[in-house]
Structure 1
């Protein structure tokens, strides 16, 4: 994969080798004595890295220089928009709508989709500003590393990588189930049932492995090729969705739409907390910024456009379902298939299954592209072994990271039952979205050497008030049906946001594209994401805690020392004049393809 030319803190190495130095080339791992010394220095190193914040030019120039070759800039706004649609519209819409309409909200499920869509759009705005200003493959990891520091970024990124793996495994097993439906068979007919194993792990799924291998080949071969496949597949998916809407509305009965609010307004917001997960996936598109021709134009159009289209389609599909069938009769597992059978169109269930199958395929593809780019950028910092950061010279894709992430996904999907996987909800994703919104406020209102100490204190107090009041609202929602808590916490949230707006001057303005209505919109994003976190089940919080604990152990024993050595080594070797030259070139390229900087000029020998 690539031959000569990989760069690792100034040391050239081959693309695909499995020597120790490919994984742990840092000074702390050269000998057991060095490692023992590093462990003894852990408190001081931890303090140094926890307080360390990266800079824009570090992510745009120095980090990219550690991947052997540049990723090819082949994507435009059209590609990003279709990637966004492909990433978000998966099988969830075919299940979640019926489940929530029947048990939680009734025909007003369309309002729940509006609420969750608007909240997702707030997060899209925050991601978009960062992706335009820092167009690198690291996504939220790079953004958090710049604004909140390395430690917070690593914990956040570790959780979202786990979410990608678990989510991909669940989708891959669902792919087998829908494929069986399309073939008129039971899912276990395509699985190997080992009766002596635990039932949760004994239904082996070789088809999911085959699907993931095909996705891996496509993701490794070409990002542009993945985009073309995603575009074609998404077109087919939209045709299926159009069929569901048109055919379904021909069987519409307006009497099914009464009563419209059987579970009252509370049901609308309760359902929106669940339906938010139908929108998850757009964050993977932000990791493609490094491969975008003109980030300042393409990313806002692609991300915001895909979210608006997705929200519209979700709302129309929800209306169609509730007009076809009374909400009390909707099937929670296969709502559209059963609804078509109920109105005398039993054959249509195969078209619905085909649409779900296609949706899951594009979700797997976009997730594969996104998760590999997250891992690539983490490896560039050496918090994960730099072997994962290699970008292949010929394909311009992160081959090692792509294969490794999908291999982990394949192992889990082969053994683990879907019910086990489905319990691991997207708590990590909401946690990341909340942190990105916080990071955006920090980016706008704090700049070292510009923000006064007094304004820094005001910023900290305002953020504490926003976060604290948001947690209060979320906790009160989860534990009470009253209104007193809202009367206390909502004014506190308004106070925190208002003081930040009126009393703390912005220290930094976006150069190309910025979130509107700062600080109100990011503050709303924080509040909504924390509010939705309050609706997550206990098991997910336990999983979150256990996995975060494992990440802390890895970071203290390995990631911290690798990152510390790399950062100090690069600081001592890098010529400040060279950095200035590269940053100037990156600034000049902002009007076109921002960040197109020749890698060879920033290497050190």
Structure 2
């Protein structure tokens, strides 16, 4: 066994490799070992899909079993001040410096301050939901983990795909914006530093090689050490703060109240449209959530970090990919943590390559719309998951309580979607919004009065449950109603691609991984405590219990107390008379 490791699904031996990759690094599951196995898995798509829809993971599985699949632990080197700097550093380049000007010029005008206030309030509600989850589940998966525990595999995967999409778009936005600022420094047009390819579609025909260089530099810093990245980020953020303070002070010296004469040129719709775009500036706590696994005291430091980084951006794309790889919904090759650096090296490199390709081709305005929609979608799901977590506990909540909870959630979700669509269509008056608000209020009140809270957080919890999570869900969806239809079309296409990938690949990979140890314990079905399963070896005329994983047709263990030094004969195609001792 020194030179081999057993995969636990039938004794197949996989050679350990010092370097290099093979098929087993990407599709090691039984369903993908050959075409026969794959077609057999496809024929079982219905039952497998039902299994994954009805199965929810458990806190202890995500905290221990999933993390063990990375091979090595991530190093706990971060404190609360590191989390603050990580969040603030992101927004300085991507939120305030990149999108504020475009949102002000095109939509809100001077009313951009109101747009920021609206987005900030929505982010404040969302950050509370994230903080409770992150304190309870300090793992690299972030919102993917939270949704997997509360809403199941399929919802978590769709969210995960959009999370990764969100991070790719965010990284591409920041990388591409560097070219714009460099051009401004030399008093040039940004396109002067890009390569024009007329044969490509509009918005994708100016290639940006500088963005690729920036992405590569950031990747190297992230791969070497998360603590080193934190130090570098802290210095850069301080410089950004000084520059921002200079801009504000210099601007105030030239202030003119006449500039506010047309305060909101596009009215309330322009203000909300700007809010939907600059929401990008408030999502740093999502990245902070993925750093819980590398934080020394997450129950103390994450709430502090979250409270201080509402103005923040994204950091943890590689950590998301790492945890998704742990579940086998993405290739497990991505789950590996480098032993020396304690960072997810493979996931970081893959995400950087994807970021670079997107940044090379795509214009910033296209990216910003896609980012806001994906972000709001994820935040809405996390708020909904928190309501489920507080009002439903498996094996404890009664059937009648569960039915009432589902009914109230249907009212909350339905009224919020209706209100958003009604605003997006824009043909009606205020009556429709009032009706939707009353239905939302009734659903939230029903949760409070008709259903007893089933779970209390161990450390930090969202106050005023169910009102704050419910309000977060409703406000996020309402802001989504201000995003243009083209972004929804792209979002829908991407989600459809995710569903296809899930049905043909991720479903079967995650199913095999989840049922890999069903002979000992199905940890995802909520069985608690140590338990073992009889594995009947189909010998001719005899059946014995084998408690050593991966051994087939060999000697069996005697589990009766007091019996020692006994032996059994293995008569399944091996040499007769061979016996082994069992203790």
Mapped partners of 1:88, 1:304: distance in 2: 15
Among candidates 477, 480, 483, match of residue 533 of structure 1 = 480
Mapped partners of 1:285, 1:192: distance in 2: 35
Mapped partners of 1:96, 1:221: distance in 2: 30
- Does residue 469 (structure 1) correspond to residue 415 (structure 2)? The answer is yes
- Name whichever of 565-574 and 495-504 sits farther off: 565-574
Please name the residue that 2:468 is paired with. Answer: 521
Residues paired across the two proteins, number: 525
Mapped partners of 1:223, 1:580: distance in 2: 35
Q: Mark the CA change 1:383 to 1:259 in structure 2 (over 3 Å): closer, same or farther.
A: closer
Please name the residue that 1:558 is paired with. Answer: 505
Higher helix content, 1 or 2? 1
SS in 1 for 2:423: helix
Whether the 8 Å contact between 2:126 and 2:379 is mirrored in structure 1 is: yes
Whether the 8 Å contact between 1:22 and 1:386 is mirrored in structure 2 is: yes
Bigger relative contact order (CA 8 A; separation at least 6): 1
1:412-467 CA-partner distances (Å, limit 9, x unpaired)? 22234445545534322111111100000000000012111111111001100011
- Does residue 484 (structure 1) correspond to residue 431 (structure 2)? The answer is yes
Please name the residue that 1:287 is paired with. Answer: 290
- Does residue 382 (structure 1) correspond to residue 328 (structure 2)? The answer is yes
- Does residue 83 (structure 1) correspond to residue 30 (structure 2)? The answer is no
Q: Mark the CA change 1:207 to 1:388 in structure 2 (over 3 Å): closer, same or farther.
A: same
Mapped partners of 1:428, 1:35: distance in 2: 32
The structure number with the bigger radius of gyration is 2
Mapped partners of 1:184, 1:254: distance in 2: 29
- Does residue 396 (structure 1) correspond to residue 396 (structure 2)? The answer is no
Whether the 8 Å contact between 1:168 and 1:409 is mirrored in structure 2 is: yes
Mapped partners of 1:87, 1:180: distance in 2: 21
Aligned Cα RMSD in Å? 2.8
Mapped partners of 1:414, 1:484: distance in 2: 46
SS in 1 for 2:517: helix
Whether the 8 Å contact between 2:328 and 2:506 is mirrored in structure 1 is: yes
Q: Mark the CA change 1:425 to 1:71 in structure 2 (over 3 Å): closer, same or farther.
A: closer
Q: Mark the CA change 1:189 to 1:87 in structure 2 (over 3 Å): closer, same or farther.
A: same
Among candidates 434, 441, 445, match of residue 498 of structure 1 = 445
Whether the 8 Å contact between 1:205 and 1:415 is mirrored in structure 2 is: yes
Mapped partners of 2:263, 2:200: distance in 1: 47
- Does residue 245 (structure 1) correspond to residue 248 (structure 2)? The answer is yes
**Normalization by structure 2: what TM-score?**
0.84
SS in 2 for 1:522: helix
- Does residue 434 (structure 1) correspond to residue 437 (structure 2)? The answer is no
Q: Mark the CA change 1:195 to 1:575 in structure 2 (over 3 Å): closer, same or farther.
A: closer
**Normalization by structure 1: what TM-score?**
0.81
Please name the residue that 2:50 is paired with. Answer: 47
Please name the residue that 2:123 is paired with. Answer: 120
Mapped partners of 2:328, 2:504: distance in 1: 13
Please name the residue that 1:303 is paired with. Answer: 306
Whether the 8 Å contact between 1:74 and 1:292 is mirrored in structure 2 is: yes
CA shift, 1:203, in A, is 3.0
Q: Mark the CA change 1:199 to 1:262 in structure 2 (over 3 Å): closer, same or farther.
A: closer
Whether the 8 Å contact between 2:74 and 2:342 is mirrored in structure 1 is: yes
CA shift, 1:246, in A, is 1.4
Q: Mark the CA change 1:266 to 1:560 in structure 2 (over 3 Å): closer, same or farther.
A: closer
CA shift, 1:202, in A, is 4.3
Mapped partners of 1:205, 1:266: distance in 2: 33
Whether the 8 Å contact between 1:140 and 1:436 is mirrored in structure 2 is: yes
Q: Mark the CA change 1:487 to 1:226 in structure 2 (over 3 Å): closer, same or farther.
A: same
SS in 2 for 1:164: helix
- Does residue 456 (structure 1) correspond to residue 456 (structure 2)? The answer is no
Whether the 8 Å contact between 1:7 and 1:13 is mirrored in structure 2 is: no
1:357-384 CA-partner distances (Å, limit 9, x unpaired)? xxxxxx6xx53xx111111101101111
Please name the residue that 1:410 is paired with. Answer: 356
SS in 2 for 1:138: coil
Q: Mark the CA change 1:260 to 1:552 in structure 2 (over 3 Å): closer, same or farther.
A: closer
- Name whichever of 518-527 and 553-562 sits farther off: 553-562
